[in-house]
Structure 1
């Protein structure tokens, strides 16, 4: 290994957070930074008046690494000092040898590589000693700054495309509210019907032991929960089925399917995704329902997806879940079919579906551009940390 390569633990200090509990939470006090606050700016903060040592204080601009469940590296954007929760490292670089912006990209590259070291069956995490032992190319501070500038520029382009995707989603929600109103308050007085009365059935599959990789072209795969968790169908979130598995083709995912996650953590359960297109040979797992609309239901899949995705109605659906709030909760078919929701006139729903199709076309174009930028970023980052970024 070249002398220009160093271990993460040699150029920065990684401090794990405090194991705050619900007993520490208060209406006032310092904000507690949890992983969800790093991955979703809309998530509320828990606060505490508990006093903790200074090493657990996070200041604006500090680097943070989520090392459990969701891996990522972030710069704290808060306007004030906050407190570090468990499962997050605060990273303090040795500025004499490493540029903070360069270090952030280096950690991102290492996290992608370190995914193969993930431990745990349900709450997977990175082992700290493995992470700190990972080595990366660390040239002069001047060269680090130049490389970080290039990586920041490409990353800014990615952020712009990501924002465009978010605007498409915001437009969809805005159009839905303008046409139908809040599906819980039902200000237009639409007819209320049970979800079960709109369906001809609810399908679910099986969850056998799979291979630890996605299905290759032509192979059968099983959807993971991540395929629906974000509310947008992601066919890449799958695992290959073992050779010789007895496939039930009735459980194959098809375009037009409306998928619903019946089991997940309390925050993520009841995610709904509409399959507009998909690769072949993907099966439903037993943790995901397929809601099959009856032909004479008077409802469209587009309307039903948007309604179930609306935060107020989704919260009501999540309240149907049973199980420990600290782990996975489950929504039974019996409770789900009893859900009451407004059903506007079919013609209005069809107008919404047509508008949604146009927005979706734009969203798919933005997503394609983002995918190309992701590839470019990965290529530039790889070259940066191989020391070949400036090679002809």
Structure 2
């Protein structure tokens, strides 16, 4: 007999696989035009999910789901003088339209700087990590790290939040939710400040995520 946990995990895996395929379909993604996400893509993902229980999915705070939420650093004086080393990713490297990393106009930090953070296991980017712009005009932009950084050393700078879960299925699901129209509205609702506003860590933790009961 299949358990409830296995049922939801299987359903989420199917939905996430469809979502990955849709994100790779440039003709579908292009329909988003100037919008942050494609309504058609949102619909495909949502229709692929298992039917919620009668009382709906439990709403959990993002901070209760994540195992890791942090920002990064750059060397004192910035990174303009470095042409090699480990990649330093910021808001300009996030393509919010399709949720991918853009490896253009690359910036670097010295390897010793990178290694110091790697020893602390801080700010270092891994596959399936969620990256969110935290301040300025780019606040709320989001991407999922896929295979773009295979065999490359990379870390985030101080303008990015890195989100990670213990469960990869949950992690991908959170990305697709936050990249959806509803998720983007939730992120934008947490932006505070005027011209150079942003999202602080505590506000981000308060975002409610409709999460299937994987623990049952």
Q: What TM-score results when the alignment is normalised by the length of structure 2?
A: 0.67
Shift of 1:229: 4.0
Gaps of 5+ in 1: 1-160, 182-186, 348-392
- The match for 1:191 among 37, 54, 58 is 58
Larger RCO: 1 or 2 (CA < 8 Å, sep 6+): 2
State how far apart, in whole Å, the 2-side matches of 1:246 and 1:254 are.
14
Q: How does 1:1-392 map to 2 (within 5 A)?
A: 163=27, 165-166=29-30, 170=38, 172-180=41-49, 189-208=56-75, 209-211=78-80, 215-216=83-84, 219-230=85-96, 231-241=99-109, 245=113, 247=115, 248-249=117-118, 250=121, 251-265=123-137, 268-277=138-147, 278-279=149-150, 280-295=152-167, 300-324=170-194, 327-346=195-214
State how far apart, in whole Å, the 2-side matches of 1:256 and 1:284 are.
14
Q: Number of matched residues?
A: 174
State how far apart, in whole Å, the 2-side matches of 1:340 and 1:232 are.
23
Residues 128 and 145 of structure 2 are in contact (CA less than 8 Å); yes or no, is this contact kept in structure 1? yes
State how far apart, in whole Å, the 2-side matches of 1:179 and 1:273 are.
21
Q: What TM-score results when the alignment is normalised by the length of structure 1?
A: 0.39
Superposition RMSD in Å: 3.2
Residues 293 and 301 of structure 1 are in contact (CA less than 8 Å); yes or no, is this contact kept in structure 2? yes
Based on CA coordinates, which of the two structures has the bigger radius of gyration? 1
Gaps of 5+ in 2: 1-24
State how far apart, in whole Å, the 2-side matches of 1:235 and 1:315 are.
26
SS of match in other structure, 1:323: coil
Shift of 1:235: 3.4
Residues 233 and 275 of structure 1 are in contact (CA less than 8 Å); yes or no, is this contact kept in structure 2? yes
Q: Aligned in 2, Cα 1:346/1:175: closer, same or farther, shift over 3 Å? A: farther
Shift of 1:174: 2.6
